[in-house]
Amino acid sequence: MARVLLVEDDDAVRAVLALVLGRAGWQVESVEGVDAAERRFAERSCDVVLSDLVMPGKGALELLATLRRQDPRLAFVVMSGYLTDERFREVLRAGACDCLAKPCEAEDLVLALDRALLLRGSVSGSGLPASEHAMVVSVQAALSQRTALLAKVDVTAQAGGFDLRRNRILLALDEAFANAVIHGASGDPGLTIEVRASFSQHGGVITVSDPGPGFDPTIAEIAKDEAHRRRGLYLIRAACDDARWIGRGNVCQMIFKQPPAEERQGQAAGEPRRPESKPVRRVRSASSAKLMAERGRRSDGA
């Protein structure tokens, strides 16, 4: 059973979240603040940390920086009641696997932790020297292929010197591949999805091509401006430096830039970015419903 360390200063919210995660099969350890979380983690590590962003004293980004020094592969998910676009990107830049708007749907919460656990398992820490590295692979259109695919791209990204972008790269790829399986291939395991990845000192590019009819790429443009966004398109855009849909809309191209020197120095020193004050609330709509439905259908048919 996977273990999650829940860090939330509101007693009522903490109790509800612990109940939801416990029912979903997670072993939950709950604490009310960063200091308590650091002590609990030192006593017993966990698979995923789920933390509120802003709490009295230190917040989630300080906790993330501290715990990552102890476990570089730690999966970390952040929650915020006041989630702006810039704050969402800031949390991803700090190394979190995902950031959820509070209050969040139970299925979104469980899916985010499941994805974080998947990303943790994909991080290999190979320590390869930075160089130009590329891969092309055709993958069966099945969600069961995600772990192996993420692991291959993770090694490729590390070889290209993208260690500080690893979480964002894998998060965007996982979302794009899931969308390609469910929407492009309609969940047909007899079809294949092509994934190309190239990383070097000049930047990184991943393309995910599915066999489906595609969609109108202007939908992706609308997703940049709507207050209530579909999680898939918005999440991909937020995790990448640029994203576009080409062809007939069935090819997702994700572009990543090398981190600037100041970001690399800040990460090396373990200095977290502090969230901006007085943010404007952004509510994120329920997400990935079709993915959850597909999972349920497959489970029932198993």
Q: How confident is the model over 63-109, as pLDDT tens digits?
A: 999 998 888 888 899 998 887 778 888 888 888 888 888 888 888 89
161-176: average pLDDT:
85
Give the Cα separation of 38 and 45 in Å (integer): 10
CATH 3.40.50.2300 residue ranges of the chain are 3-122
Q: What is the CATH number of domain 133-263?
A: 3.30.565.10
Contacts 24+ apart (CB under 8 A), 235-241: 235/171, 235/172, 235/175, 235/287, 236/172, 236/175, 236/176, 238/85, 238/88, 238/89, 238/92, 239/92, 239/168, 239/169, 239/171, 239/172, 239/175, 240/168, 240/172
Give the Cα separation of 77 and 67 in Å (integer): 13
Of 296 and 34, more confident: 34
Q: Check if CATH label 3.40.50.150 holds for domain 3-122.
A: no
Beta strands in 170-211 (DSSP E): 192-200, 203-209
Q: What is the pLDDT of residues 209-266, one digit of tens each?
A: 999 887 665 555 554 444 334 456 778 888 888 988 887 888 999 999 887 766 555 5
CATH 3.30.565.10 residue ranges of the chain are 133-263
Q: Could you tell me the pTM of the whole model? A: 0.65
pLDDT confidence of residue 301:
52
